[in-house]
Structure 1
Amino acid sequence: MGRILAGRRLSKVAATGVLAVLVSTLATPSAQALGNNRAVSRSCGTNYVSSGFTGSYNWAQTRKQSGDCSGRLSSAIEYGTGWWTPRAYGSSENAYTSHTSSTRAANGLHWGCDSCNVTRS
């Protein structure tokens, strides 16, 4: 009987470990998900991209960290339907946009200079 109980305890421990890994994986933000704030290096320099949602307020910000691009930065917000807010153009140092909606946005969109590729956060 002792072997059966030991086997059950081991199975519970293994199942708990698998569940913990699954929860931590799901809780980690995707590289392209609203709120995945980070520094991004591109051909136009390094920008800090950030986005978020509070209540009904979605926002996205692009800030210059380094690089020699003197053009303007820009930001937009993308919803799960594929709809984007108009691109908001800022200075060569910062661009910020927001949109009020009861729906949480899918991504913040960030450009460092007009010629740079978009980065999602």
Structure 2
Amino acid sequence: MTTKITRPARKAAAVLGMTTLMAIVPLVAAPGAEALGDNRTVTRSCGKNHVSSGLNNGKSWAQTEKESGTCAGRLSAALELVDGYRIQRVYGTKSRAYASFNTGSGMAAKYGLHWGCDNCNVTKS
């Protein structure tokens, strides 16, 4: 016995399939704007900085690098752990700052934290 699927039933199935697909795709394709490893260039009032962070061999790290701008102050970086604790802010030079934390203790970093100058707002990566 052959079951014939009517045109309205096919159309309903297609709409349901597309609706489901459209709901899932943004969850898969959209990376978090602020998460460890969200490496990018940010523009602030003090200039442009490249912010990067990651995890390598059990060590979380965050780096801030100057790309351009008029700020002559020092850059800085830190890490925020998954429990909300922030490791001490590391002050670098006017060109670069680097902070790291050994995550071998089981506490992983959630964000890299970056400052262009002492008075710039913090950026998370």
* TM-score normalised by length of structure 1: 0.84
Q: Which runs of 5+ in 2 are unaligned?
A: none
Moved more, 97-106 or 109-118: 97-106
Deviation string 1:43-90 (CA, Å, 9 cap, x unpaired) is: 111000000113421000000000011110000000121101100110
Tell me, yes or no, if the aligned pair for 2:34 and 2:124 is still in contact at 8 Å. yes
Q: How many residues align?
A: 119
Paired with 1:12 and 1:57, the residues of 2 have a C-alpha distance of 45
Matched position secondary structure for 2:86 = coil
Tell me, yes or no, if the aligned pair for 2:82 and 2:107 is still in contact at 8 Å. no
Paired with 1:23 and 1:82, the residues of 2 have a C-alpha distance of 25
The 1:2–1:15 alpha-carbon spacing in structure 2 relative to 1, beyond 3 Å, is farther
Aligned-residue offset at 1:10: 3.5
Which of residues 59, 62, 70 is equivalent to 2:61?
Answer: 59
* TM-score normalised by length of structure 2: 0.81
Paired with 2:26 and 2:122, the residues of 1 have a C-alpha distance of 30
Of all paired residues, the percent bearing the same amino acid is: 45
The amino acid of 2:43's aligned partner reads: S
Tell me, yes or no, if the aligned pair for 1:56 and 1:103 is still in contact at 8 Å. no
Q: Is it true that 1:113 corresponds to 2:96 in the alignment?
A: no
Paired with 2:63 and 2:79, the residues of 1 have a C-alpha distance of 10
Partner of 1:49 in structure 2? 51
Provide the alpha-carbon RMSD of the alignment: 2.2
The amino acid of 2:49's aligned partner reads: N
Moved more, 56-65 or 8-17: 8-17
**Structure number, greater radius of gyration:** 2
Matches within 5 A, 1:1-121: 1-3=3-5, 6=10, 10=14, 13-14=17-18, 17-18=21-22, 20-25=24-29, 28-101=30-103, 102-121=106-125
Aligned-residue offset at 1:16: 6.5
The amino acid of 2:94's aligned partner reads: S
